[in-house]
Structure 1
């Protein structure tokens, strides 16, 4: 029987440290690496990141859009990237932010959460803003496949506040409502639930929110967006051990040199470890 995503993630974070590295082949990054903005450049970029880090980081987070922009050939590179990263021992959180209703949501889930899919991922980012209940097909398939979800709750982009901070009739805002739904999904799960939230590392003091959802908290915003590992205790407090900090450009800009990529990732990993030890 396959361990749940929460179990696999807890083990990976404890063994390798809680660093998630994004695989975000921006056109500008390809150029910085001396690569063409084409499928060959995409393939070289992704292969180098996986070669450098798959045997040492807990999680990779490929951003699906940067592969999809090249059409079917780009998606083929994404499939290969997922396959090779998994061989190296890294877990895959597919950053696709899918969100829809009914059979369409079910089809998105099939693409990324069905075990025999070429893009099967350990977890998928999803948007709940057609209503949390619209995620039901993805939740059901994730449970069946031993996978997980990361639900957008309190994101690091400034535009997110107009939706996530909107106050419901019961006085609780939308972001807090999403956290409460996830806590219910994870109730009783050990050592960690499989249904996490995306909570930005740039948001400052979140003590007014109950972040203890018994599940992982994916924390983008470190590096290029301005947050540092030292900021994590002030944002996440007592749940910091369940936080999966994501760094993308902060690591990737050191390529294509494999050694430099490794050094950068190790430096972030050590800074995160030191921050967690403070709580």
Structure 2
């Protein structure tokens, strides 16, 4: 069973503590058909369950110590198996919770009104079988359309990660475009996220986290997704990521070409806020648990070295 909102610390301090403790690595759980085949597994609900539970097991050491700050299951790859796939996802989220590792449901939800409220309830509300510690969101129906999810996340001690600067070639046509006040869409998203996080950073939780952290970032409820291969784009668009108070989920490390050196240079003063996601770069080491653990340790050493 998950803890109640009344017992749960705010998401930002929880993530910051996990990053200090285990390192700033998020392991993606992406049961692609090709990876399943490489692991000798069938492309079925049973196959993705074996795959997912193996990744969760490998993300903790034999003594139960977490080897990653977070796990990020790719929801689409469960959804393609229908109800049976969602049942596997529910068990995967629970396994991660039982192992003491934060979860980010990579669902990229975005809608308006009661529909957005429905998505928020499904992924962020206590008692929901799909409740994760955080949820990825798409803001391109307008940042405020995400308000039901942002507010529910804050109220339940969970978080959200909002797409801001993605590395797919199509993203620039929207994210770099100038909107109201001749500010890029991406800059406006980051500005609004920073305003939400200032609410969190005035709370006792955040003050306590800042006092005890010693090093690392103090983070709010609203994180941002920024591609690991394009962090310098923020500078070119006059976006101050360091001032956002946001955890920066950075997919693209390893198999997609981002290196630690390039990320450090690109994110610059925002580097302490970066949660580096690696999926294929780790998952190709499977299916043996110890091989996956070794790859996770080496990845963390490379990121933090």
Correspondent of 1:41 among 40, 47, 55: 47
Contact 1:217–1:242 (CA under 8 A) maintained in structure 2: yes
In structure 2, the residue matched to 1:116 is: 127
Contact 1:229–1:268 (CA under 8 A) maintained in structure 2: no
Contact 2:25–2:68 (CA under 8 A) maintained in structure 1: yes
Pairing 1:259–2:282 present:
no
Correspondent of 2:268 among 237, 251, 264: 237
TM-score, normalisation: structure 2? 0.88
How do 1:77-226 residues align onto structure 2 when only pairs under 5 Å count? Answer: 77-187=88-198, 189=201, 190=206, 191-205=218-232, 206-207=234-235, 208-212=238-242, 213-226=244-257
Shift of 1:215: 1.6
* Structure 1 SS opposite 2:167: coil
Gaps of 5+ in 1: 275-279
Task: Give the Cα–Cα distance (whole angstroms) in 2 for the partners of residues 113 and 168 of structure 1.
Answer: 30
Task: Give the Cα–Cα distance (whole angstroms) in 2 for the partners of residues 168 and 128 of structure 1.
Answer: 14
How do 1:50-69 residues align onto structure 2 when only pairs under 5 Å count? Answer: 50-54=56-60, 55-69=66-80
Contact 2:67–2:296 (CA under 8 A) maintained in structure 1: no
Task: Give the Cα–Cα distance (whole angstroms) in 2 for the partners of residues 141 and 259 of structure 1.
Answer: 38
How many residues are paired up? Answer: 274
- Which digits, 9 at most, give the CA deviation of each residue in 1:199-253, with x for residues without a partner? 0011152323210201200000112211122221111101111110100000001
The answer to which of 228-237 and 23-32 deviates more is: 228-237
TM-score, normalisation: structure 1? 0.96
Shift of 1:46: 0.6
Task: Give the Cα–Cα distance (whole angstroms) in 2 for the partners of residues 176 and 13 of structure 1.
Answer: 26
In structure 2, the residue matched to 1:20 is: 26
Pairing 1:228–2:259 present:
yes
The alignment's C-alpha RMSD in Å is: 1.0
